[in-house]
Amino acid sequence: MKLGWAAGRVLAKKGSGPVLVGKDTRISCYMFESALEAGLSAAGVDIRLLGPMPTPGIAYLTKSTRAQAGIVISASHNPFHDNGIKFFAGDGTKLADEVEMEIEYELNYKMRSVPSLSLGKARRITDAPRRYIEFCKSKIKGNINFNDLRIVIDCANGATYHIAPKVFEELGAEVIIHAASPDGLNINDECGATSPGILQQLVKESRADVGIAFDGDGDRLIMVDQQGSILDGDDILYIIARSQLKKLNGAVVGTVMSNLGLEHAINSLELDFFRASVGDRYVMELLLKKGLTLGGETSGHIINLDLTTTGDGIITALQVLETMVSTDTSLTELVKSVKKYPQIIRNIEFDTHIDITKNDDINRVIKDTKNVLGNAGRVVIRPSGTESLIRVMVEGENKNQVENLINELADKVTEITTRLH
Under 8 Å between Cβ of 156 and 199? no
Residue 295 has pLDDT above 90, yes or no: yes
Q: Which residues pair with 396 in a beta bridge?
A: 377
- Identify whether 76 is a catalytic site residue: yes
Give Cα separations from 144 to 147, 264, 386 (angstroms).
9, 31, 39
Residue 375 pLDDT level (bands cut at 50, 70, 90):
confident
Q: What pTM was computed for the model?
A: 0.93
Separation between Cα atoms, residue 67 and residue 11, nearest integer Å: 11
Which residues, including other chains, have CB under 8 Å from residue 194's CB and lie 6 or more apart? 77, 188, 215
Residue 359 pLDDT level (bands cut at 50, 70, 90):
confident
Cα torsion through 173, 176, 181, 187, rounded to 10: -90
What SS3 class is residue 88?
strand
Question: For residue 352, what pLDDT is reported?
Answer: 67
Give the range among 98-107, 180-189, 309-318, 344-353 with minimum mean pLDDT. Answer: 344-353
- Average pLDDT of span 250-272: 96
Is the sign of the CA dihedral 271, 275, 279, 281 positive or negative?
negative
Question: For residue 21, what pLDDT is reported?
Answer: 98
Question: For residue 176, what pLDDT is reported?
Answer: 98
What CATH topology corresponds to 343-420? Answer: TATA-Binding Protein (3.30.310)
Give the range among 22-31, 227-236, 328-337, 381-390 with minimum mean pLDDT. Answer: 381-390
What SS3 class is residue 10?
helix
Question: For residue 86, what pLDDT is reported?
Answer: 95
Q: Does domain 2-126 correspond to CATH entry 3.40.630.10?
A: no
- Mean model confidence pLDDT for the chain: 95
Give Cα separations from 226 to 198, 204, 230, 331, 356 (angstroms).
14, 7, 10, 7, 42
Share of the chain above pLDDT 90, in %: 88
For 393, other C-beta atoms within 10 Å of its C-beta total 18
Q: What is the pLDDT of residues 146-168, one digit of tens each?
A: 999 999 999 999 999 999 999 99
Under 8 Å between Cβ of 278 and 256? yes
Q: What is the pLDDT of residues 62-120, one digit of tens each?
A: 999 999 999 999 999 999 999 999 999 999 999 999 999 999 999 999 999 999 999 99
Question: For residue 142, what pLDDT is reported?
Answer: 87
> H helices of 66-206, where?
97-106, 128-137, 164-170, 197-206
- Average pLDDT of span 338-366: 88
- Average pLDDT of span 319-331: 97
Separation between Cα atoms, residue 161 and residue 181, nearest integer Å: 7
Exactly one of 74, 76, 258, 299 is catalytic; name it: 76
Q: Does domain 132-334 correspond to CATH entry 3.40.30.10?
A: no
φ, ψ (nearest 5 deg) of residue 212: -130, 125
- β-strand 150-154 against 210-214: which pairing, if any? parallel
Residue 284 pLDDT level (bands cut at 50, 70, 90):
very high
User: Of 65, 72, 121, whose CA–CA distance to 90 is shortest?
Assistant: 65
CA atoms within 13 A on the CB side of 20: 33
Helix (H) or strand (E) holding 369: helix 360-373
Q: What is the pLDDT of residues 326-344, one digit of tens each?
A: 999 999 999 999 999 999 9
DSSP string, 276-339: EPSSHHHHHHHHHHHT--EEE-TTS-EEETTT-SS--HHHHHHHHHHHHHHHT--HHHHTTT--
Region(s) of the chain under CATH 3.40.120.10: 2-126, 132-334
Residue 212 pLDDT level (bands cut at 50, 70, 90):
very high
Region(s) of the chain under CATH 3.30.310.50: 343-420
